[in-house]
């Protein structure tokens, strides 16, 4: 496997433009400028590149929805909001190698024929946004952005926009509303952004990691990208592992690496004396996987086949010192807080789920409360405007299935029997967002 997105992570500071170019940076533009755009979109489809922000939709297929005669201007918007708990991959590229982002945006904008590009950065990534601004300015000064780039006849500029916050900004149409200066409520679809997006113009919205793969695919070909994966996966992916493991971090590995290899070989396995109970494979909104599923290839189709989602590839570990109900309640509290409030089932239903889980912790829950949680999940998920609430209840539904005995134990014992465990240095680092093992 050839490192692509993390190839410069070993440097203490982000590379300046000259050093980045000396290592082959921006060479991909010679493979892109002048080529037929439809041909390049088809090559992306053939490569198997899929959206790395969570949905896993075919990138080439998404870009093909943009009409050839789309009214001008056409916009490219990069989602670098990254607010999913358990996900920190985009942050690593932003802070460690921002020119990789600029090159990915430039290549992608040329392929779709965009007139302007925006990078929407999570508000907490203020320092990283400044690094990206610096890289953008270096590219401008060198003629890699602006008018008639490298004599190609193509012109583009990139705006870096720092978000005002909210998890819901990760939903592409809520992001567009936020970028326009409105409240970040998701829009109704259709029309889809490729038809009517930013300021009513045709717009492609993609996760940052997705567009960063584009230059190498165009430079080395679809078959090369497919060959970087394994077990049915295509390309590489920035996997993340957090929780009670010895080496929490971000790892660029083949798409399709098994969960066992990721957790035990790269993340070092669980802390001494701990036992794996379950893990979420793609961030906090994905259903749990269990130890008997460790040999599942970590790619979109294989994880979906066993009833979960790869999502962002952010693996969160649950061990035998963690109460599954308390863990799940913590997830629901996050989503209840981050709801945009547009839909009643999401706005009111998620906080009520938190209330019900609190009853199990306090020892006042009954079997009726257990049943109410089950019924609420069935009502909340299908009856909301966007994917936030359906994603929020997925781990709850999974917990109801996997940890049914724990619900009953909490009722019988009138509370939680798990004792708090002092955080180790590894756990403290993971909780603070300190990432190791940048392979």
The mean pLDDT value for 205-214 works out to 98
Cβ-contact 50, 300 below 8 angstroms: yes
Q: Match 């004599």 to its residue by tokens.
A: 151
Catalogue the E-assigned strands of 350-399: none
Cβ-contact 312, 327 below 8 angstroms: no
Which CATH code is given to the segment(s) 17-227?
Answer: 3.40.50.11540
Give the per-residue pLDDT at 164.
Answer: 87
| Rounded distance between C-alpha atoms, residue 76 and residue 74, angstroms | 7
Query: Which of 96, 425, 435, 2 minimizes the C-alpha distance to 250?
Result: 435
Backbone angles phi, psi at 436, to 5 degrees: -110, 180
429 pLDDT above the threshold of 50: no
Q: Is 357 helix (H, G, I), strand (E, B) or coil?
A: helix
User: Which whole-number Å values give the CA distances from 410 to 366, 400, 406, in the listed order?
Assistant: 9, 13, 6
Query: Which of 309, 298, 300, 314 minimizes the C-alpha distance to 387?
Result: 309
Domains 17-227 and 324-413 share a fold: no
**What is the pTM assigned to this prediction?**
0.93
| Rounded distance between C-alpha atoms, residue 324 and residue 278, angstroms | 9
Q: Match 């690496």 to its residue by tokens.
A: 257
Q: Which tokens belong to 13? A: 């500071």
| Rounded distance between C-alpha atoms, residue 74 and residue 429, angstroms | 42
Q: How confident is the model at residue 72 (pLDDT cuts 50, 70, 90)?
A: very high
434 pLDDT above the threshold of 70: no
User: Which whole-number Å values give the CA distances from 424 to 242, 244, 249, 359, 437, in the listed order?
Assistant: 13, 8, 16, 29, 18
Q: Is residue 374 reached through a cis peptide bond, with omega within 30 degrees of 0 on the bond before it? A: no
Q: How confident is the model at residue 381 (pLDDT cuts 50, 70, 90)?
A: confident
For residue range 97-145, list pLDDT tens digits in order: 999 999 999 999 999 999 999 999 999 999 999 999 999 999 999 999 9
Contacts of 378 (CB under 8 A, 6+ apart): none
The mean pLDDT value for 390-397 works out to 96
The mean pLDDT value for 44-63 works out to 96
Helix (H) or strand (E) holding 429: helix 425-431
| Rounded distance between C-alpha atoms, residue 193 and residue 235, angstroms | 26
- Give one DSSP letter per residue of 109-155, joined into a string: HHHHT-SEEEEEE-GGGHHHHHHHHHHHHHHHHTTSSBSSGGGSS--
Give the per-residue pLDDT at 437.
Answer: 45
Q: Which tokens belong to 437? A: 């093992």
| Rounded distance between C-alpha atoms, residue 134 and residue 395, angstroms | 40
Give the per-residue pLDDT at 420.
Answer: 67
Q: Is 212 helix (H, G, I), strand (E, B) or coil?
A: helix
Rg (CA), the chain: 22
Give the per-residue pLDDT at 421.
Answer: 59
**Beta partners for residue 204, in sequence order:** 76
Q: How confident is the model at residue 419 (pLDDT cuts 50, 70, 90)?
A: confident
Give the per-residue pLDDT at 231.
Answer: 97
For the chain, the helix, strand and coil percentages under 3-state DSSP, each to the nearest 5: 45, 15, 40
CATH class of 324-413: mainly alpha
Domain spans, the chain: 17-227, 236-321+424-431, 324-413
Name the pairing type of β-strands 116-121 and 236-242: unpaired
Name the pairing type of β-strands 158-162 and 116-121: parallel
Of the candidate CATH numbers 3.30.200.20, 3.20.20.100, 3.40.50.720, 3.10.20.600, the domain formed by 236-321+424-431 belongs to 3.10.20.600
Give the per-residue pLDDT at 425.
Answer: 42
């Amino acid at each position: 496997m050839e490192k692509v997105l993390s190839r410069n992570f070993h440097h203490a500071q982000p590379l300046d433009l000259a050093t980045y170019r000396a290592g082959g940076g921006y060479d991909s533009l010679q493979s892109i400028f002048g080529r037929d755009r439809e041909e390049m979109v088809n090559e992306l489809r053939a490569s198997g590149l899929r959206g790395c922000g969570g949905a896993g939709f075919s990138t080439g297929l998404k870009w093909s929805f943009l009409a050839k005669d789309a009214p001008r201007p056409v916009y490219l918007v990069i989602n670098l909001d990254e607010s999913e708990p358990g996900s920190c991959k985009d942050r690593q590229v932003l802070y460690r190698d921002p020119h990789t982002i600029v090159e990915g945006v430039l290549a992608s904008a040329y392929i779709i024929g965009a007139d302007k590009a925006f990078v929407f950065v999570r508000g907490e990534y203020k320092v990283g946004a400044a690094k990206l601004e610096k890289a953008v300015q270096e590219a401008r000064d060198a003629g890699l952005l602006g008018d008639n780039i490298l004599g190609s006849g193509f012109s583009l500029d990139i705006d870096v926009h720092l978000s005002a916050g909210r998890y819901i900004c990760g939903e592409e149409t809520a992001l567009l509303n936020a970028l326009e200066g409105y409240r970040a409520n998701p829009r109704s679809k259709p029309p889809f952004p490729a038809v009517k997006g930013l300021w009513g113009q045709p717009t492609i919205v993609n996760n940052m990691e997705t567009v960063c793969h584009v230059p190498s695919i165009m430079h080395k070909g679809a078959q090369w990208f497919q060959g970087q994966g394994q077990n049915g996966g295509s390309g590489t992916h920035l996997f993340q592992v957090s929780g009670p493991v010895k080496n929490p971090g971000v790892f660029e590995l083949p798409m399709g690496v098994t969960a066992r290899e990721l957790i035990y070989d790269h993340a070092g396995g669980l802390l001494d004396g701990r036992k794996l109970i379950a893990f979420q494979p793609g961030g906090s909104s994905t259903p749990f996987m269990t130890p008997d599923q460790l040999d599942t290839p970590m790619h979109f189709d294989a994880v979906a086949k066993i009833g979960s989602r790869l999502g962002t590839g952010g693996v969160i570990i649950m061990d035998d010192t963690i109460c599954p109900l308390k863990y799940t309640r913590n997830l629901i509290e996050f989503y209840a807080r981050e709801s945009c409030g547009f839909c009643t089932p999401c706005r009111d239903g998620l906080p009520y789920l938190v209330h019900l889980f609190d009853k199990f912790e306090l020892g006042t829950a009954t079997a009726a409360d257990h049943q109410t949680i089950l019924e609420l999940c069935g009502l909340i998920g299908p009856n909301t405007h966007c994917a936030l609430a359906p994603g929020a209840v997925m781990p709850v539904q999974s917990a109801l299935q996997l940890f049914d005995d724990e619900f009953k134990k909490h009722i019988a014992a009138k509370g939680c029997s798990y004792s708090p465990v002092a955080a180790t240095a590894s756990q403290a680092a993971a909780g603070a967002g300190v990432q190791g093992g940048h392979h």
